[in-house]
Amino acid sequence: MPGKVKPIPEGFHTLTPHLIVRDAKRAIDFYKRAFGAQQAETHLTPDGKVMHARLKFGDSALMLNDEFPEMGARSPQSLGGSPVTINIYTEDVDRLFNQAVSAGATVVMPLKDQFWGDRYGVVADPFGHKWSLCTHIEDVVPEELEKRAKAAFAEMAKKGGAAKPGSAGA
């Protein structure tokens, strides 16, 4: 008699991002080259589209599939963009950032040491998804974080390029 089935399968976490992409086979190849993802599983439809794929990123996973507009599965390219950014923590953000750009990612925000204690930058993949890449470089206590945030927003406001803290754009 089989044992009790785990409600969260082995190798999964409670939350797993699931991306819809145009040309999932090409996206899988890109994520492997750009971010070092490992292909855990892939299931194809009879016509060769990716119905389901799971990639491993360190201790985390990401699922993805091709667009299936007839089922409401549309990519950021079909929708005109995505409001979501996927975050990857890594030991060497400079290496990963450069690797992603070399693989074809576009720089959205260059790498920089940030006030909250991370070295952080953002890239966009060729499929319309944004990825923030970072390495934690400093533990910042809440009081210091608040002070640094105010200073950072004041500096951005001087340059005319940032919303005020607490506004919809911040």
pLDDT tens digits, one per residue of 59-81: 999 999 999 999 999 999 999 99
The residues, any chain, with a CB within 8 Å of residue 24's CB and separated by 6 or more, are: 49, 50, 53, 64, 65, 66
**Has residue 11 been placed in a domain?**
no
Averaged pLDDT, 133-144 = 97
**Has residue 3 been placed in a domain?**
no
**Has residue 5 been placed in a domain?**
no
**Has residue 165 been placed in a domain?**
no
**Has residue 7 been placed in a domain?**
no
Number of domains in the chain: 1
Contact 123, 106 (CB under 8 A): yes
Structural domain boundaries enclosing 149: 18-159
Q: Which CATH number belongs to the domain containing residue 132 in this structure? A: 3.10.180.10
Contact 105, 124 (CB under 8 A): yes
Reported pTM: 0.87
170 pLDDT more than 50: no
